[in-house]
Amino acid sequence: MSNDPIKEALHRIPYGFYSLTSRYEDEVNAMVFNWFTQVSFTPRLVAIGLAKKSYTYGLIDTGGVFAINIFNKEDQDILTQFTKPRAKAPDKMTGANFTPGPKTGCPILNGTAAFIECKVVQMVDVGGDHDVLVGEAINAAILKPGEVGDTLTLPDVGWSYAG
């Protein structure tokens, strides 16, 4: 236990481990992320905490679309190539295996169990190092069988991104 109860409490939130993909014109990117939740039934809206300094932030801000790639636990190795920021791995998309999403053109990574394509509704500056990205789900598909308990999470990979 640390001497920071807020940090400890935030570490208890069960975060998934996903890939956020983006596109603007011919430029595409994929990154890993975990701050993600549904925030409305009608319309179907999701919210993501997205670092303001990330390469993906710029693509989504200009392109207006993104996709969430959801993986099963056994497929965590697929995400390895997307853990480094674009500044440290400028060619990470060169060898990436993906198909363009049917509605957004955002990468749908090979091996993903499910994906959700979204159009940006709002980017909310909350005054911190991340903004809240709100998107409307406009398309989705299940590509591998599974249940919520099969979904890859941060504890599965031994990581934490909270506090």
Q: pLDDT class for 1, splitting at 50, 70, 90? A: low
Question: What pLDDT does 143 receive?
Answer: 98
Note whether 163 and 28 are within 8 A (CB).
no
Q: Per-residue pLDDT tens for 99-137?
A: 999 999 999 999 999 999 999 999 999 999 999 999 999
Collapsing DSSP to helix, strand or coil, 134 comes out as strand
Q: Which residue has the tokens 């989504």?
A: 60
Model confidence at 160: pLDDT above 80: no
Give the helix/strand (H/E) hosting 62: helix 55-63
Domains and CATH numbers, the chain: 15-156 (2.30.110.10)
**What's the pLDDT score for residue 161?**
79
Work out the average pLDDT over 34-54.
96
Give the model's pLDDT for residue 116.
98
C-alpha 68/C-alpha 22 separation (Å) is 9
pLDDT at 158: 83
d(C-alpha 66, C-alpha 104), whole Å: 7
**Section 30-51 average pLDDT:** 96
pLDDT (0 to 100) of residue 69: 98
What one-letter code names the amino acid at 133?
L
pLDDT at 163 exceeding the cut of 80 = no
pLDDT tens digits, one per residue of 132-155: 999 999 999 999 999 999 999 998
Helix (H) / strand (E) containing 7: helix 5-10
Query: What tens digit of pLDDT does each residue of 48-86 get?
Result: 999 999 999 999 999 999 999 999 999 999 998 899 888
